[in-house]
Amino acid sequence: MNDMLTPELTATKRWTVAEIEALFALPFSDLLFQAQTVHRAHFDPNEVQVSTLLSIKTGGCSEDCGYCSQSKRHHTGVEQENLLELETVVEKARAAKEKGATRFCMGAAWRGPKQKELGPVLDMISAVRALGLETCVTLGMLKEGQAEQLREAGLDYYNHNLDTAPEYYGEVVTTHTYQDRLDTLDQVRGVGIKVCSGGIVGMGESRTHRASLIAQLANLNPPPESVPINMLVQVKGTPLDGAKALDPIEFVRTVAVARITMPKSLVRLSAGREQMDGPLQALCFQAGANSVFYGEKLLTTANPSAESDLDLFGKLGIRVMA
């Protein structure tokens, strides 16, 4: 495993957890060199894709995800709000495009949408797409026939994170199963919608668990087109508040391993960037990250401002993908 894998092999390989753990264990410079080699074979290393995420329905979720500020089972101070009006969403999407975003992601705090709730979201997708933006939604678990409706509305991406390894999942969520998540991904993939799926690290999981999560993602057929790597943002009132923070270098290793095992995917730095300084983010880009969420807020948690991101991109010579 110390022999360097070719970019061609990483694009077709089926990964074992042991092989991914061996990547994690490489000397840091060797790991980053391998990740850069794979990255350069498939992407311009000096470009980053920019997405903006908007909470279109906040709070009141029935699920017990241990990291989430929007669960009604947790006392986090997040108030339940109604679904946003179409005009508000279009205004936010237009502003995101003006700041350079190429994809607009809309998230609703649901176990899954009821049919009467899905209708307004379909209108949002169509309206945002009409602005010339790629569209993505994260709505929870889908019922039969809903993926087809999303496709017909013009949806480009559906986000549904696996969160963590299957063997650690019960430590984080108990109100739905890992298979529920895989089933939703199968539904959206089956109708031709692109998949956005990643995970959250720093939830008390082991390195083996992180390797197992990446194996699950990389061995999807095909792997997700977009892979968000989230650093846990600890929220007071959630069960995971007080979890031991993940070492920053281990986070960079996670990004690098995701890049090597999913060479054609956009690997996105997602939640947690507000807690990362510029040099740490620069290491993540060096490790193969080539996408970020852009804007001051990710659903309910803070995110760096667009101005600070542009300043960092300028220092690093990174261009925003058109």
pLDDT at residue 4, as a whole number? 67
100 pLDDT band, cuts 50/70/90, is: confident
**Cβ(213)–Cβ(162) below 8 Å:** yes
Length of the chain: 322
Give CA–CA dist 217/130, Å, rounded: 31
User: Catalytic residue among 181, 189, 196, 284, which?
Assistant: 196
Give CA–CA dist 272/231, Å, rounded: 5
Residue with tokens 């000397």: 27
Bigger pLDDT: 46 vs 3: 46
Q: At what angle do helices 28-42 and 278-286 cross, to 10 degrees?
A: 60
Give CA–CA dist 43/36, Å, rounded: 10
Verify whether residue 284 is a known catalytic residue.
no
Verify whether residue 65 is a known catalytic residue.
yes
pLDDT, tens digit, 9 for 90 and up, residues 215-237: 999 999 999 999 999 999 988 88
pLDDT at residue 124, as a whole number? 97
pLDDT at residue 2, as a whole number? 46
pLDDT, tens digit, 9 for 90 and up, residues 43-62: 999 999 999 999 999 887 88
The dihedrals phi and psi of 313, each to the nearest 5 degrees, come to -60, -40
Buried b (16+ CB within 10 A) or exposed e, 77-86: ebeeeebbeb
Percent of the chain residues past pLDDT 70, beyond the cut: 94
What secondary structure, in 3-state letters, does the chain show?
CCCCCCHHHHHHCCCCHHHHHHHHCCCHHHHHHHHHHHHHHHCCCCEEEEEEEEEEECCCECCCCCCCCCECCCCCCCCCCCCCCHHHHHHHHHHHHHCCCCEEEEEECCCCCCHHHHHHHHHHHHHHHHCCCEEEEECCCCCCCHHHHHHHHCCCEEECCCECCCCCHHHCCCCCCHHHHHHHHHHHHHCCCEEECCEEECCCCCHHHHHHHHHHHHCCCCCCCEEEEEECCCCCCCCCCCCCCCCHHHHHHHHHHHHHHCCCCEEEECCCHHHCCHHHHHHHHHCCCCEEECCCEECCEECCCHHHHHHHHHHHCCEECC
pLDDT at residue 1, as a whole number? 45
Verify whether residue 136 is a known catalytic residue.
yes
Average per-residue pLDDT in the chain?
91
pLDDT at residue 60, as a whole number? 76
Position 64 pLDDT exceeds 90 = no
User: Catalytic residue among 14, 73, 105, 129, which?
Assistant: 105
pLDDT at residue 7, as a whole number? 65
User: Catalytic residue among 61, 103, 189, 284, which?
Assistant: 61
Buried b (16+ CB within 10 A) or exposed e, 265-286: bbbbbbbbbbbbeeebbbbbbb
Token pair belonging to 67: 């990291």
Verify whether residue 40 is a known catalytic residue.
no
Verify whether residue 319 is a known catalytic residue.
no
User: Catalytic residue among 103, 210, 268, 273, which?
Assistant: 268
Verify whether residue 268 is a known catalytic residue.
yes
User: Catalytic residue among 103, 136, 181, 284, which?
Assistant: 136
pLDDT at residue 302, as a whole number? 60
Position 188 pLDDT exceeds 70 = yes
